[in-house]
């Protein structure tokens, strides 16, 4: 036993697993990349990465029982951090190229194409953190790395739900959510340099 917190990166067939693993390991935790259900449920923290299309990520997540793993962790009060399309699939549904796919339904909201002339939204951008955000504590004015064409453009605030917004091409979308034990980012903290490393440490601090 190392005495460190344990984090599982859920390996459900989505790419970008290793860069997430390395970034989280730098926060001084024990990281395991696995699809094992018991390990994912037992870990102090679970990371749900994701790249590519909403429907494909949702299919991969469903194939390994990821949806029920996330739901069980939420019910047990165990932290989850979702990234990029991992963040998107927590919402009710996604619509890409006219095709609608159901999401995990943790939050109401539809992932749809951002209304901007230049897509994908790729590169560094600032965000507008929610008041009292713990995820962005100390990094409120930093820039983060985005790669996406789709996002959630409407999400109602709730007393415990903190919503961080960003803009691209004049259109506003959800950049991050903090809701109880479930935190998520549309951007890639593992590709966001020192600011991303600080954000991951802020998440690890709640484990």
**Where in the sequence numbering do the catalytic residues fall?**
84, 188, 190
Task: State how far the Cα of 51 lies from the Cα of 20, in Å rounded to an integer.
Answer: 12
Q: Residue 145 corresponds to which tokens in the numbers above?
A: 């790395």
For 39, counting Cβ atoms within 10 Å of its Cβ (0-12 exposed, 13-18 middle, 19+ buried), the class is middle
Q: Which residues contact 148 (CB under 8 A, 6 or more apart)?
A: 84, 85, 114, 120, 121, 122, 186
Q: Which residues contact 165 (CB under 8 A, 6 or more apart)?
A: 127, 128, 172, 173, 174, 175
Bridging pattern class, strands 182-185 and 80-83: parallel
To the nearest 10 degrees (0 to 180), the angle between helices 193-204 and 17-25 is 70
Q: What are phi and psi of 24, to 5 degrees?
A: -75, -35
């Amino acid at each position: 036993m190392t005495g460190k917190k344990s984090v599982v990166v859920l390996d459900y067939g989505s790419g970008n697993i290793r860069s997430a693993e390395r970034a989280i390991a730098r926060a001084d935790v024990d990281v395991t990349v696995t699809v094992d259900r018991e390990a994912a449920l037992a870990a102090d923290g679970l990371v749900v990465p994701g790249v590519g299309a909403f429907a494909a990520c949702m299919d991969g997540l469903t194939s390994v029982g990821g949806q029920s793993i996330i739901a069980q962790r939420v019910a047990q009060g165990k932290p989850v951090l979702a990234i990029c399309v991992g963040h998107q699939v927590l919402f009710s549904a996604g619509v890409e190229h006219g095709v609608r796919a159901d999401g995990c339904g943790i939050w109401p909201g539809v992932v749809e194409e951002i209304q901007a002339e230049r897509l994908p939204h790729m590169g560094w951008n600032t965000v507008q953190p929610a008041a009292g955000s713990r995820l962005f504590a100390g990094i409120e004015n930093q820039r983060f790395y985005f790669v996406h064409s789709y996002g959630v453009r409407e999400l109602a605030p709730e007393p415990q739900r903190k919503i961080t917004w960003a803009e691209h091409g004049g259109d506003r979308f959800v950049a991050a959510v903090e809701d109880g034990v479930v935190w998520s980012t549309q951007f890639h903290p593992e590709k966001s340099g020192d600011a991303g490393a600080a954000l991951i440490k802020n998440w690890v601090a709640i484990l």
